[in-house]
Chains A and B, each alone.
Chain A
Amino acid sequence: MKISKAAAAAAVAVALALTATACGGSDKAASDGGASGDAKKDKIVVGIKYDQPGLGLKTPDGKYTGFDVDVATYVAKELGYQPDQIEFKQAVSAERENLIANGDVKFVVATYSINDKRKEKVDFAGPYFLAHQDLLVRADDSSITKVEDLNKKKLCSVTGSTSAQNIKKTLAPEADLLELGGYSECLTGLENKKVDALTTDNSILAGYAAQEKNKGKFKLVGLTMSNENYGIGLKKGDKELQTKINAALKKMVEDGSWQKAVDANLGPANYKNEPAPQITEGS
């Protein structure tokens, strides 16, 4: 009797906790909707990264800059939204699928590589960019020229990231890999010569190298260690939006805005971008 009472109490507690979190979620959604109210049509919520210079960055004065932001703005414009009608929302890697599935954002432009597992939960438009896993080294370091060189080197990447896993599992299992919380922390180690190279997508690396405070300190090695096709994530089954975004991306490439955005955001790092990829999703 005593035990069953305890079990019942535990069950109630768990149920309460679950409903409490559920309430939190729906409250937030409701108030978000309420804030825009009848003007709901006039706002579009887009998920981007806040912490990747050159791609998606929220600056201290509250502005958003980067290539992903430019793409998002262009696509939103094609969908009929002016820049002041776009509301950016942070989409950290682990939450992107849920943000989309829950309808918290209309679409996500956040260095989001297209792959089959992700496609189980969301649909993609694009790809709008082709990046490769690459290395960032100190500007005066030329000891790394090919992937095999990595096995004797000290590398740094972000905890759990695909790039880190690629290194550990296939590319250079013998490399001494340090996994830290963010790329900025790796840059400290790179500057202090505690690590020899920082590895992730070349677009992200170029963004860091192009930052004002890092100019001239680092360079990209230019290895093509993987292909990352960045797509725009959207709700599964929303064919209409997918078609519209694809058309917008196509137009962006054709009218030259795409190249302009690449040059403006990633150019300073002497980054040679791949040409705009063919749109493969949704066809």
Chain B
Amino acid sequence: MFDFLDSGQYDVLGAFWVTVQLTLYSAVGSLIWGTVLAGMRVSPVPLLRGFGTAYVNLVRNTPLTLLILGCSLGLSQTLDISLGGDTFKETGFRLAVLGLIAYTGTFVCEALRSGINTVPVGQAEAARALGLSFFQVLTLIVLPQAFRAVIAPLANVLIALTKNTTVAATIGVAEAALLMKEMLENEAQAVFAVFAIFALGFVLLTLPTGLLLGWVAKRLAVKR
């Protein structure tokens, strides 16, 4: 049933490695971008707050496929922005990471914002009473506590991100979903075996993530 794998025609591990790379780059990027967004949404400056709210609500409610396709058709093909990539392989990867960060950042932001709500108001008030600026209150007092409260929700975002990387196949990034399409084209007699391989691959990627981060969340939660 799985004998088509022996032909050496398909680099399943290589494809999943691209998936992992996409996930890691996008995860780091969206963590940073999401934190910035969360900072904007709780900041005292109305303009930043307005931008944060508008961005999150707009991007969060746009299908990821549209965002990624927009990166490729809009940015790359129409506006000629290739993010420094020379070949379609490089460009596609970078554009996909950009799209994934833009999208996932909104979920990180909202998770963090809920985390900020778990930090007692007194903490911020005390910090302000000590003479810390808004930026210092946020980065020294509030966010460190907020992060510890939202590790489990962030794990969910990370798992969703891992699976969302499959959308990058629509703009030709050679990750797992693209290889799956190739295999389905060639190995029509073994459709279910192909599906099983990729389903298993994603379970192997996401299940440990969930377990590990669940454990970390328990360890680091602020006991109140």
Residues of A within 8 A of B (CB): 93-94, 96-98, 117-118, 120-121, 154, 159-162, 164-165, 176-181, 185, 188-189, 192, 194
Contacts and interface: CB of A to CB of B under 8 A. Distances in A.
Given A160-B178, A179-B172, A117 B188 contact: yes
Interface string B171-193: 11010001111111111110100
B61 interface: no
Interface stretch (B21-29, B38-46, B72-80): B72-80
A117 B186 contact: yes
Contact of B188 (A118, A179, A188): A118
Contact of B77 (A159, A179, A192): A192
B189 A120 contact: yes
Contacts of B92: 178
Interface of B: 69, 72-73, 76-78, 80, 87-89, 92, 169-172, 174, 178-189, 191
Contacts of B171: 180
Chain B binding surface SS class: helix
Contact of B186 (A98, A162, A179, A185): A162
B181 to A, nearest CB: 3
Contacts of A164: 182
A154 B72 CA distance: 15
A178 B191 contact: no
A162 B185 contact: yes
Contacts of B69: 181, 185
A160 B78 contact: no
A160 B182 contact: yes
Contact of B78 (A93, A177, A181, A192): A192
A97 B192 CA distance: 12
A194 B76 contact: yes
Contacts of A118: 188-189
Contacts of B172: 159, 177-180
A278 B171 CA distance: 39
Given A160-B178, A178-B88, A192-B78, A98 B169 contact: no
Nearest to B89: A176
Nearest to B181: A160
Contacts of A180: 72, 170-172
A127 to B, nearest CB: 17
B68 to A, nearest CB: 10
Contacts of B76: 194
Nearest to B172: A179
A176 B85 CA distance: 12
A160 B188 contact: no
Q: Chain B CB within 10 Å — which of A93, A164, A177, A179 has the most?
A: A179
A96 B191 CA distance: 11
Given A159-B169, A159-B170, A178-B88, A185 B73 contact: yes
A230 B119 CA distance: 66
